[in-house]
Structure 1
């Protein structure tokens, strides 16, 4: 369900800063909303066209970054990029989130199930051999320098290893196959339909990203990786927490450079959307949580309240820790109640089994 928006005269930088609490609630543990806001403001300064984008699309892209724990526009990290595109349907700019090769690598490492991921280029002077076997595939890639060069790129592949020692390697793609893939899937095109942007300026980097995406289909996938693959190159306008699991819109139009060449003027910006309302836990939910914490023995005794808050903070990965159960969101409270009720049911069943065993022994 799309988050309701309200009209405001605030500028975009102020609007982004007002999103801090919403970003923080959406972020993985250990990631700071203040850093995301600094990155976003840097993106606005380095690419003024972003300020002309439909603001809901830009905030949606930032919310996706928050939920995935990725930093946009930081070249040294290569996590993700915010790009302004001209949408020919709405006659206005929209912000598109493009997740980088290193963004996928970061999510893979964070999953705890993948030990390493590498995307590589095979050059014309290299020795490369891939053998398909009944039990496992065997590949050999020996970089070779002749007269100080490895030659021209000829193909690309990616390999990943899991923490249990297994590995997967993609089928290689030749440069021609990668160019055909680019021509079919690239969204950055000018008025004449010609591809430009990262696929032209950073062809090898985009080829590596393509191979990593293909590799992800062969490796264990975390929820974050699945979400990243779904949201990559998309436009999100729903700021609700669950919207990351929805299919994003994809722009049918031209990238921002094509608009300048065409001389078209962007459509007037929509009123700046207000910060999406974060629904906090209801009084009924808070009461039920406190009762359940006592019933299963978590929040009992002199330090019961502190123990209960410590348990809740760990369960929802709150950073900083909660100081009151009223600080839970409605979604978090619902999840906590389910966990506590399951724990209560399990303990009751264990108690019944123990009683039955005792009575059975006494009867004998």
Structure 2
């Protein structure tokens, strides 16, 4: 009987149960579009734990770290455990165990750009060795990328590029990264040498993510940007609005003879003298 009680206690205090306990806190940090489906968001996260033994173990090792990662995903309005926001078990040398870390995927980076409201489209693409690619800064507004779709193998990854088309039709800065740039970004990742790292399980996605992340330096990604634009527009409109015309006062007609206005003002109880 005690074993059953211990199992129930462990289950109720495990990562999946703790996620449910933080429902209100998660809802508070989520953007409005997610607050209506926080229940589904939590159930999807609990399902990830049940399906992935390594992820469950890492979450059990440090539940607080796991919740902090989920709070970050919720604040950004991204779905954990997807290409928008990876949940990655990572070894912590100081704590001597694995813990859950959050890694924004390239689709998550793009989602944040769209949500900020400044762009009409975002383009992030890899270039392989058998593709044709040309871009000269200062001469070309956007890259020209030709792909032979009949090829069974387009070759190895060569470049990644990213740019956004703004709402006014202008093109943002074009980011182009080569294999050396990607190698430098990979070297900064603590998990790159692990088998489960997305650098090893989905290399193309990490190239795309690196390109998209570099683009965020030149394109707004915060919803606060749109709120500031709305506030600024309201200020401009209020300053440009014409001042309301005030009609001149109507002339006061002279009192007719015999009215009370013929008499001097005085106290109501003034004495009347014959």
Question: Normalising to structure 2: TM-score of the pair?
Answer: 0.70
Q: Which runs of 5+ in 2 are unaligned?
A: 1-9, 226-237, 252-274
Pair 1:12-2:15 in alignment: yes
**One of 155, 158, 171 as aligned partner of 1:154:** 158
Equivalent pair of 1:114/1:162 in contact (CA under 8 Å): yes
Pair 1:30-2:20 in alignment: no
Q: Distance in 1 between matches of 2:49 and 2:74?
A: 17
Pair 1:109-2:109 in alignment: no
Deviation at 1:145, TM superposition (A): 4.6
Q: Distance in 2 between matches of 1:201 and 1:177?
A: 19
Write out aligned runs for 1:1-364 (5 A): 10-31=13-34, 32-47=37-52, 48-74=56-82, 78-133=83-138, 137-145=141-149, 147-182=151-186, 184-188=187-191, 194=193, 196=195, 197-223=197-223, 361-362=248-249
Find the structure with the greater CA-based Rg. Answer: 2
Shift of the 153–81 alpha-carbon distance from structure 1 to 2, 3 Å rule, reads closer
Moved over 6 A (4+): none
Q: Distance in 2 between matches of 1:17 and 1:147?
A: 49
Q: Distance in 1 between matches of 2:189 and 2:70?
A: 22
Give the CA RMSD over aligned residues: 3.0
Q: Distance in 1 between matches of 2:221 and 2:151?
A: 42
Q: Distance in 2 between matches of 1:212 and 1:224?
A: 20
Counting matched residue pairs gives: 220
Deviation at 1:102, TM superposition (A): 0.9
Question: Normalising to structure 1: TM-score of the pair?
Answer: 0.54
Q: Distance in 2 between matches of 1:358 and 1:148?
A: 76
Q: Which runs of 5+ in 1 are unaligned?
A: 1-7, 226-345, 347-352
Name the counterpart of 2:267. none
Q: Cα deviations across residues 301-336 of structure 1 (Å, max 9, x unaligned)?
A: xxxxxxxxxxxxxxxxxxxxxxxxxxxxxxxxxxxx
Shift of the 153–102 alpha-carbon distance from structure 1 to 2, 3 Å rule, reads same
Shift of the 61–181 alpha-carbon distance from structure 1 to 2, 3 Å rule, reads closer
Shift of the 149–216 alpha-carbon distance from structure 1 to 2, 3 Å rule, reads same
Equivalent pair of 2:163/2:174 in contact (CA under 8 Å): yes
Deviation at 1:179, TM superposition (A): 2.3
Equivalent pair of 1:126/1:145 in contact (CA under 8 Å): no
Name the counterpart of 1:255. none
Q: Distance in 1 between matches of 2:97 and 2:43?
A: 26
Equivalent pair of 1:107/1:224 in contact (CA under 8 Å): no
Q: Distance in 2 between matches of 1:35 and 1:148?
A: 40
Deviation at 1:362, TM superposition (A): 4.7
Q: Distance in 1 between matches of 2:110 and 2:33?
A: 18
